């Protein structure tokens, strides 16, 4: 019988235990999908204050063990990485400790991993430690590391004076190691020392090799491009599925699409919009920040509100956008629903009720919102970047192909033009129904992505120095 592949999956946040963003969704789903493919996968994460478990372990699904690194001084805090005023000043110490403890946990549980799969800068020290401090340890003799970059904008950069806290030799603080313009860069260390690097979409893996999206690491990533691959994140269709969604008033599929429009009327009633199932409803669920395209949406929001449509927004973020949308709310009370908060149930209702879903991001490593909206038959309008470019295919009327609407130039008029194209097709009900059908049939399940990771794991183990193209 073939030996079962052992993977230690390491993340600073894992849904449902602790979450600030998309990383937690991935870390909560991918290990379960890998386990279904026969992988012996275990997860390690910090034991944060809000996690209520007996002992130092829990489970994802039925079979995936989650080990918690317990250190109250570092992790029993109200937030994961920092307060609203800024990052915790001791984040380097916190995640250096976490990264070292991963090796102790593996030994304590007699789990000698074939692969340690790391995620973002908080775990990027693991490949560094494996090839330095634990280099001679027979327990990890055959262990390889993979680092997944979820968002290169966050790199874990700290003052040079903090370097001794890592427990590494000063010889590693150089241009070929963890030094970055006179500072310590943890993500850089992970990229240098890991056996393979992945990003969360194929397009993003290419984008981070450019100056615009590389944040100073584009040269290093280009140097390692033979060992760099983009694998699209998936979504869990047990969780995100209009046929099973426990929150929406009426469940539906494409064959019972009329229920989507009953949900729309319920949402219009709930949020104070004019009740009219035929009026196009544009939805956006987002962080109110420039990265998410708010700076190109803001100049055209008045134009949109004067058109024959409705607009619903859910999210929090920068003060300037809170103030802008508060004014819009007052000026257009029956045409807009402005919800400046986090509300998981309202988010599901928007996915299930809106006709068009906006994601005009400046950059988007993967994006989950567009995948969810497709499953719910809510047509995405997105900027062609990162994972959005890999999942949304622009509608082409002559060939009647595509599952959404895309635009390339990062400017307000390009976004407005894409929205107008979507509204034009919306008025052609037969074309719109065919578009919805293609959207709902798209498959972005974790099974597809997990199979790609499994293939990558075996390839990393099979080739030590140089890796073949996948």
The predicted-structure confidence for 233-261, as pLDDT tens digits, reads as follows: 999 898 899 999 999 999 999 999 999 99
Band of pLDDT at residue 86, cut at 50, 70 and 90: confident
CA separation for the pair 426, 432 (Å, rounded): 5
Q: Is the pLDDT of residue 76 over 50?
A: yes
Q: What are phi and psi of 19, to 5 degrees?
A: -150, 135
Same domain, yes or no: 24 and 87? yes
CA separation for the pair 374, 392 (Å, rounded): 9
- Identify the DSSP state of 238: T
Question: Which range marks the domain in which residue 95 is found?
Answer: 6-234+447-462
What pairs with residue 37 in β-bridges?
none
Mean pLDDT, residues 404-422 taken together? 98
> The domain that contains 37 carries what CATH number?
3.40.50.2000
Domain count for the chain, please give it: 2
Same domain, yes or no: 83 and 103? yes
Band of pLDDT at residue 2, cut at 50, 70 and 90: low
394 in a domain, yes or no? yes
Same domain, yes or no: 438 and 451? no
- Tokens linked to 328: 């819009």
Highest mean pLDDT among 42-56, 216-230, 455-469: 216-230
pLDDT at 106: 98
pLDDT at 442: 94
Average pLDDT, the chain: 95
245 in a domain, yes or no? no
239 in a domain, yes or no? no
Could you count the other beta carbons within 10 Å of the beta carbon of residue 430? 8
**% of the chain exceeding 90 in pLDDT:** 90
The percent helix, strand, coil of the chain (3-state, each to 5) is: 40, 20, 40
Band of pLDDT at residue 358, cut at 50, 70 and 90: very high
pLDDT at 55: 78
pLDDT at 466: 41
Q: Is the pLDDT of residue 363 over 70?
A: yes
Do the strands 356-359 and 183-185 form a parallel or antiparallel pair, or are they unpaired? unpaired
Q: Is the pLDDT of residue 338 over 60?
A: yes
pLDDT at 470: 36
467 in a domain, yes or no? no
Band of pLDDT at residue 62, cut at 50, 70 and 90: confident
246 in a domain, yes or no? no
Same domain, yes or no: 404 and 452? no
242 in a domain, yes or no? no
Same domain, yes or no: 404 and 319? yes
Same domain, yes or no: 217 and 332? no
pLDDT at 1: 47
Same domain, yes or no: 205 and 259? no
Mean pLDDT, residues 47-59 taken together? 89
Same domain, yes or no: 171 and 34? yes
Same domain, yes or no: 413 and 333? yes
Give the global pTM.
Answer: 0.91
Band of pLDDT at residue 52, cut at 50, 70 and 90: confident
3-state secondary structure at position 434:
helix
First to last CA, the chain: 27
Band of pLDDT at residue 296, cut at 50, 70 and 90: very high
Band of pLDDT at residue 139, cut at 50, 70 and 90: very high
Could you count the other beta carbons within 10 Å of the beta carbon of residue 175? 10
Q: Is the pLDDT of residue 290 over 60?
A: yes
470 in a domain, yes or no? no
Same domain, yes or no: 276 and 398? yes
Band of pLDDT at residue 28, cut at 50, 70 and 90: very high
409 in a domain, yes or no? yes
CA angle 260, 442, 19 (to 5 degrees): 80
pLDDT at 465: 44
Band of pLDDT at residue 420, cut at 50, 70 and 90: very high
What pairs with residue 312 in β-bridges?
283, 337
C-beta of residue 383 within 8 angstroms of C-beta of residue 359 = yes
C-beta of residue 78 within 8 angstroms of C-beta of residue 50 = no
Sheet holding 179-180, edge to edge: 157-159, 183-185, 179-180
Mean pLDDT, residues 196-225 taken together? 97
Band of pLDDT at residue 468, cut at 50, 70 and 90: very low
Tell the residue number behind the tokens 């699209």, with chain if given: 232
- Identify the DSSP state of 445: B
What are the CA-CA distances from residue 388 to residues 184, 256, 288, 289, 351 (Å)?
Answer: 32, 28, 18, 17, 17
Same domain, yes or no: 281 and 183? no
More confident position, 62 or 37: 37
Q: Is the pLDDT of residue 467 over 50?
A: no
Could you count the other beta carbons within 10 Å of the beta carbon of residue 137? 12
- Tokens linked to 318: 């920068």
Same domain, yes or no: 48 and 60? yes
């Amino acid at each position: 019988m073939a030996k079962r592949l052992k993977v230690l999956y390491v993340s600073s946040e894992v849904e449902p235990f602790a979450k600030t963003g998309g990383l937690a969704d991935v870390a909560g789903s991918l290990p379960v999908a890998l386990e279904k493919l026969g992988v012996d996968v275990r997860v390690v994460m910090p034991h944060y204050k809000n996690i209520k478990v007996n002992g130092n372990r829990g489970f994802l699904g039925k079979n995936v063990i989650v080990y918690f690194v317990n250190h109250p001084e570092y992790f029993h805090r109200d937030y994961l990485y920092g307060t609203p005023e800024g990052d915790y000043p001791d984040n380097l110490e916190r995640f250096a400790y976490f990264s070292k403890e991963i090796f102790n946990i593996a030994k304590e549980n007699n789990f000698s991993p074939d692969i340690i799969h790391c995620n973002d800068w908080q775990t990027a020290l693991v490949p560094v430690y494996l090839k330095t401090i634990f280099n001679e340890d027979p327990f990890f003799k055959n262990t390889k590391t993979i680092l997944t970059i979820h968002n290169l904008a966050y790199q874990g950069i700290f003052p040079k004076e903090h370097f001794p806290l890592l427990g590494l030799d000063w010889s590693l603080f150089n241009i070929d190691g963890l030094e970055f313009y006179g500072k310590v860069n943890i993500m850089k260390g992970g990229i240098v020392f890991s056996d393979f690097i992945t990003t969360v979409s194929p397009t993003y893996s290419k984008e981070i090799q450019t100056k615009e999206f590389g944040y100073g690491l584009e040269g290093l990533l280009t140097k390692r491009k033979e060992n760099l691959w983009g694998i699209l994140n998936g979504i869990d269709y047990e969780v995100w599925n209009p046929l099973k969604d426990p929150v929406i008033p009426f469940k539906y599929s494409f064959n019972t699409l009329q229920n989507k429009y009953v949900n729309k009327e319920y949402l219009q009633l709930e949020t104070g919009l004019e009740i009219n199932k035929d009026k196009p409803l544009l939805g956006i669920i987002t962080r109110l920040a420039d990265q998410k395209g708010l700076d190109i949406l803001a100049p055209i929001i008045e134009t949109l509100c004067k058109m024959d449509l409705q607009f619903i927004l859910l999210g929090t973020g920068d003060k300037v956008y809170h103030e802008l949308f508060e004014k819009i709310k007052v000026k257009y009370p029956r045409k807009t629903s402005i919800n400046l908060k986090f509300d998981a149930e309202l988010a599901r209702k928007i996915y299930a009720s809106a006709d068009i879903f906006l994601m005009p991001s400046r950059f988007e490593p993967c994006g989950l919102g567009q995948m969810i909206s497709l499953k719910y038959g809510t047509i995405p309008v997105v900027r062609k970047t990162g994972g959005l470019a890999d999942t949304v295919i622009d509608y082409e009327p002559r060939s009647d192909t595509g599952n959404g609407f895309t635009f390339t130039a990062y400017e307000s008029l390009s976004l407005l033009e894409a929205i107008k194209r979507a509204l034009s097709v919306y008025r052609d009900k037969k074309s719109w129904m065919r578009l919805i059908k293609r959207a709902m049939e798209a498959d972005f399940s974790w099974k597809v992505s997990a199979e790609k990771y499994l293939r990558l794991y075996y390839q990393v183990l099979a080739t030590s120095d140089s890796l073949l193209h996948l």
